[in-house]
Amino acid sequence: MYLLTKPNADRINEVLNGQVRLDFTYPSIGSTSDGRHPSGFIVDHNRIQLGAGKATFEAARQALGQWQHYRFDWIELHRPDGDPEPDQTIGVLARALGLWVLNVCRVVYVLEEHQPFRRFSFAYGTLPEHAESGEERFQVEWRSDDSVWYDIYAFSRPNQLFSRFAYPYVRRKQKQFARESMSAMRTAIF
């Protein structure tokens, strides 16, 4: 949803509530859990080593659960309090090209795994009021070599007319998001 003025909290909640029962805008829901994606989508995969050891993993897991990977100045996150849970509807309000863009998505899954190594991840998928169509997974993992990583895996393609016209700009913003998200996670654990 593209807006000329910044929406207030009531307007954002109204949009989010209107999207709660709507279907996702892409096939293969949940496929980011095993690194798959449907054909016709652009794939982005970004990783950064956060450090090593149990304390680093626990700090990274807590930061991810608290959505600290979204702490930068051109985005506001509108979500329920607490850790991500399946079926939560999330609003991402971004400032871009002089407009306010409200993107709506829903948490698809949350995974906490211990084998073959420790991993915490969740993904959200796009709903009709999102400029893009696709799914994005956020993950922290503590590997067998003691290294701790933050990993973002996403597939997307334009969902709305304006995002098709502005696609080169959209791609730059997606890359900027990945860079700033990795930086935010590094900052959150140190």
Distance of alpha carbon 66 from alpha carbon 68, whole angstroms:
5
15-32 average pLDDT score: 96
| Residue 126: domain span | 2-189
Distance of alpha carbon 185 from alpha carbon 190, whole angstroms:
9
Give yes or no for a contact between 26 and 126, defined as CB atoms under 8 angstroms apart: yes
Give percent of the chain above pLDDT 90.
85
pLDDT (tens digit per residue) in 120-139:
999 999 999 999 999 999 99
Residue holding tokens 């084998």? 115
Q: What share of the chain is helix, strand, coil (3-state, %, to 5)?
A: 30, 40, 30
Residue 35: Cβ-neighbour burial (10 angstroms; 0-12, 13-18, 19+) = exposed
Residue holding tokens 């393609």? 157
How far, in whole angstroms, is CA 43 from its chain's centroid?
Answer: 14
85-109 average pLDDT score: 94
Give yes or no for a contact between 105 and 124, defined as CB atoms under 8 angstroms apart: yes
72-96 average pLDDT score: 91
Specify the 3-state DSSP secondary structure of 54. helix
Q: What is the mean pLDDT of the chain?
A: 94
Task: State residue 82's pLDDT score.
Answer: 82
Give yes or no for a contact between 176 and 94, defined as CB atoms under 8 angstroms apart: no
Q: Which two tokens stand for residue 91?
A: 């609003």
pLDDT band per the 50, 70, 90 thresholds, residue 75: very high
pLDDT band per the 50, 70, 90 thresholds, residue 166: confident
20-42 average pLDDT score: 94
Q: How many domains does the chain have?
A: 1
Nearest Cα residue to 139 out of 125, 149, 124: 149
Q: What is the CATH number of the domain that holds 71?
A: 3.30.530.20
Give yes or no for a contact between 137 and 153, defined as CB atoms under 8 angstroms apart: yes
Task: State residue 128's pLDDT score.
Answer: 96
CB contact set of 74 (below 8 Å; sequence gap of 6+)? 94, 95, 96
Give yes or no for a contact between 3 and 93, defined as CB atoms under 8 angstroms apart: no
80 pLDDT higher than 90: no
Nearest Cα residue to 61 out of 77, 76, 50: 50
Task: State residue 102's pLDDT score.
Answer: 95
164 pLDDT higher than 90: no
149 pLDDT higher than 80: yes
Task: State residue 2's pLDDT score.
Answer: 84
Task: State residue 35's pLDDT score.
Answer: 87
78 pLDDT higher than 90: yes
Task: State residue 161's pLDDT score.
Answer: 86
89-99 average pLDDT score: 91
